[in-house]
Copies of this chain bind each other. A is one copy, B any other.
Amino acid sequence: MFTSLGDLKLIRKSISSYIHETPVLTSKVFDSTSGCSTYFKCENFQKMGAFKMRGAMNALLSLSSQQRADGVVTHSSGNFGQAVALAALNLDVKATIVMPSNAPKVKKDAVAGYGASIVECEPTNKARVAATSDISAETGAVILHPSDQKEVIDGNASAALELLESQPDIEAIITPVGGGLLAGTALAAKGLNSRIEIFAGEPSGVDDAYRSLQTGVIQPSLNPVTIADGLRTQLGENNFPIIKKYVVEIIRVEEDEIISAMKFIWERMKIVIEPSSAVAVAAVLKNAILFKNRKLGIIISGGNVDLSNLPF
């Protein structure tokens, strides 16, 4: 991972022509409901609809010319697949995306639309990892891990950098945990201001990060069940030490709280956010006392939703 703020700024510069500098929005009704002053970093407006574009772009730019010629392969519940597909398209690299058979159709269509090859597999971590390895062995393609790869974490960190450059006096930041956003955010935020407190929201149905923090060792995500499809993942070895070092608290939220928070943001802020993003919003609404009268940053991780299959 990057070791200085200067390095992170260089990373952001190298990816800057391939990504959007997304807007930071506020909402009076959210503030009056939560009791804190909240700044939403809207990665739902990012290219391909999620922060993942940042990490994927940094990972692709970090490849050697030989590696670019060999192509890349990744497994993804959706957004990272889209991000790698688009990043690879930008650099004219061949990409193969292993996707769980239950991934939202809108995400599969988008991956195909960016010109990547899709290989479907069973919706388990084990099956995804196995299929990815097989493809790499056959084709020589470089494996990109959707959340636990250093270059991906580094690229993802640029969202928090932008947020804090625009709002330097933010006192706490919260993100969902599961997609490689939390660790990068923590590194960036602490690099900019050591007093910032880092929080995360996690679905109770996939609380491997919460249990890992409680026990001090990585706990398996055995049967991930949540509407937050971007978080049906396994906490990894690169992310965990950073999370253990910097994260004050992981707040678990229930499925109905995720759906309710998502609906609140759609209805009142008029923006489309995906369930994974709503996990962080729900965590704030559930534990508003933690953030009362503070200036809070929420990273809205993405906005890719299957509109034909909404929970409300």
Q: Please list the residues of chain A having a beta carbon within 8 angstroms of any beta carbon in chain B.
A: 23, 44-45, 49, 106, 263, 266-267, 270-273, 303, 305, 307-308, 310, 312
Contact = CB atoms under 8 A, between A and B. Distances in A.
Given A49-B270, A272-B272, 13 more contacts: A23-B23, A44-B270, A45-B270, A263-B307, A266-B272, A266-B307, A267-B272, A270-B271, A270-B272, A270-B303, A271-B271, A307-B310, A307-B312
A232 to B, nearest CB: 22
Given A45-B270, A106-B267, A270-B45, A308 B303 contact: no
B267 A307 contact: yes
Closest 3 CB pairs of A and B: A270-B303, A270-B272, A44-B270
9 contacts: A44-B270, A49-B270, A266-B307, A270-B271, A270-B272, A270-B303, A271-B272, A272-B272, A308-B312
A192 to B, nearest CB: 27
A185 B112 CA distance: 41
Contacts of A267: 106, 272, 305, 307
A131 to B, nearest CB: 28
Interface centre among A49, A271, A305, by most chain B C-beta atoms within 10 angstroms, is A271
A92 to B, nearest CB: 19
Contacts of A312: 307-308
Contacts of A263: 307
Nearest to A312: B307
Contacts of A49: 270
A164 to B, nearest CB: 22
A106 B106 CA distance: 28
A106 B268 CA distance: 11
Contacts of A270: 44-45, 49, 271-273, 303
Nearest to A49: B270
Interface centre among A49, A272, A305, by most chain B C-beta atoms within 10 angstroms, is A272
A266 B106 CA distance: 12
Contacts of A303: 270
